Every structure is written in structure tokens, then in C-alpha cells.
Amino acid sequence: MNSTQRRGVGIQVRGLRKSYDGQLVLRDISFEVAPGEVFVIMGPSGSGKSVLLKHLIGLEKPDAGEILIGNEPISSPGLMDRHRIAMVFQSSALLNSLTVGENVGLYLAEHRLKPPAEIEKIVAEKLELVGLAGAQNKLPSELSGGMKKRAALARALVVEPELLLYDEPTSELDPLMAVTVAEEILKLNRRMSVTSVVVTHDRDLAFGIADRIALIHDGTIYSIGKPDEVRNTTHPLFQRFLAADFNLKQSSDKP
């Protein structure tokens, strides 16, 4: 299949519940993501966003509920072969013993999808795309946090995914690079109709790229809708969350 013909895949989450040591982290989460949609899950820290994301790629097993990727349960054997799914981790999760180039080309090399020369070419292309041209031979320990994140994005792009999950893609990035990453998410979405699920507490990113936004707090989704609908939420916590701003000088100047 040509990469330009690749289509995104839909997701259905029904009644998802998860607890750790008796503490409920996800409470009856249900939502759907249409193929090719950019779906943002936004909420304060510790609200269960990353745990939810890990369920969507099968890294965690729910206590109850089901997740369907392209109408197939996520636990179906060979699902990852049929629907390419990739994830950009918050910590980047590059393999520290490999060079950046080896990290980016790992998927192709391990699955023997391309000959080594072609892998090198693809790796160079993807690194250039994320602004890391020529960084193939560097070790992850030689990169800054933002560079690591971009290398992780390049590694995910190599998979040519139908579903791409991002865990806090703009954390540790300067504003310019954050905009670049946001543009890249949208570009991928438009070019290949990749379904993107983005977990973030970065309001600018969420409202800048989302087709729909889900607001999550304490393991519960309170609202799902288009950015404008979500902006008008009546939930007091999210009103504060969306309106929060630095007013430290003014408040400290008060007698």
C-alpha cells in the first residue's frame, strides 16, 4: 500500500475501567474516535490520561470494558500487524544503547521490511522531517529533551501508522518546536488520514489541532465535543483549568 493511500483507523472504547491496588484510575470511560480524526484527551496532571493512552495501544489490560480498533478487539492476535499503531512517549523512550538512526530504523530493521540501504534513506528522511538531519550517529544521551522527543516522533513516523498516539508531545519543547510538532501532527493527519489521539494538558496544542476534545479528570470523561463546545464547559474545575493564567505579579503586589 502506498503511504499516501493509507487511511486512519477508528477506535471505540466502551465502559473501560482500571484500578491499581484498589484505587480506581479509570471509571467507565466510553468514547469513539472516527478514522482520520485528531482527538485530544485533555485534563490536569494525574487524571488518568496516560493510563488511558496505554490501554489504547495494549500496554495495559483493563479490568472491565473493551477497546475496538477498526472494529476488532485490541487483544485480537495480529491486530498490530493489520493496523499499524505507533506511540510517541512522554519520556521519548528511545533505546539508550542504540544510536538515533538505529532507533528510528528499528521497526524496519527488526521486521526486515526494507534492505539496510533503504532503511538508512528512510531514517534520514524522517529525521530531516522533524528537524534532526544528520543526527543518525548520535546517542540518545547526547540529545536534549526536545531533540529526543523529535527523534521519538521520527521513529513513530517510520511505522507509517494508521493510528498514532501522542503522550504529552509538546512537553520539554520550546514554543517554536512545539508549534512544529503540532504542525507535523496536522500534516500527517491531512497527508495520510492518520487517526491521532493526543494526550496533553497543553491548552494551546489541544485547541490548535483537535477535531474534538475530551476533558478528563479523576478517571472520568466529563465532556467530549468540538473545541468551541469544550471551551464553553460549565464544569467548574475545567473552567478554572481553561482559564488558568499567570497573574503572580499582580497578586503579589496586592497589600
Q: Is 23 in the site for another protein (CB under 8 A)?
A: no
* 188 lies in the site for another protein, by CB under 8 A: no
The DSSP-derived string for 52-103 is: HHHHHTTSS--SEEEEEETTEETTSTTHHHHS-EEEE-TT----TTS-HHHH
Region near another protein per CB under 8 A, out of 104-112, 170-178, 180-188, 240-248? 104-112
**Least Å distance between CB 191 and another protein?**
21
93 binds another protein (CB under 8 A): yes
Look at the block and give the residue holding cell 494525574.
46
9 is a contact residue toward another protein (CB under 8 A) = no
Specify the residue, 79 or 242, whose C-beta has the smaller distance to another protein. Answer: 79
Query: How far apart are CB 58 and another protein at their closest, in Å?
Result: 8
Contact string 158-177 vs another protein (x = CB under 8 A)? -x------------------
Q: Which of 186, 181, 162, 184 is nearest to 5 (CA)?
A: 162
107 binds another protein (CB under 8 A): yes
Write the CA distances from 71 to 74, 75, 82, 242, integer angstroms.
9, 12, 12, 34
Q: Is 57 in the site for another protein (CB under 8 A)?
A: yes
Q: Which three cell numbers, joined as nine digits, stand for 171?
A: 512537553
Q: Cell 466502551 maps to which residue?
A: 14
- Which residue's CB is nearer to another protein, number 111 or number 191? 111
Closest to another protein by CB, 81 vs 245, is: 81
Out of 110, 228, 245, 253, the residue judged to bind another protein by CB under 8 A: 110
Is 205 near another protein (CB under 8 A)?
no
For residues 179 and 197, what is the distance between their CA atoms, to the nearest angstrom? 17
Q: Fill in the DSSP letter of residue 244.
A: -
The DSSP letter of residue 234 is: -
C-alpha pair distances (Å), 219 with each of 3, 4, 13, 85, 222: 36, 37, 14, 24, 9
Binding residue for another protein, selected from 41, 74, 87, 178, defined by CB under 8 A: 87
Is 155 near another protein (CB under 8 A)?
yes
Tell which one of 34, 64, 95, 244 touches another protein (CB under 8 A). Answer: 95
Helix (H, G, I), strand (E, B) or coil at 9: coil
Q: Which residues bind another protein (CB under 8 A)?
A: 54, 57-59, 80-81, 85-87, 89, 91, 93-97, 106-107, 110-112, 152, 155, 159
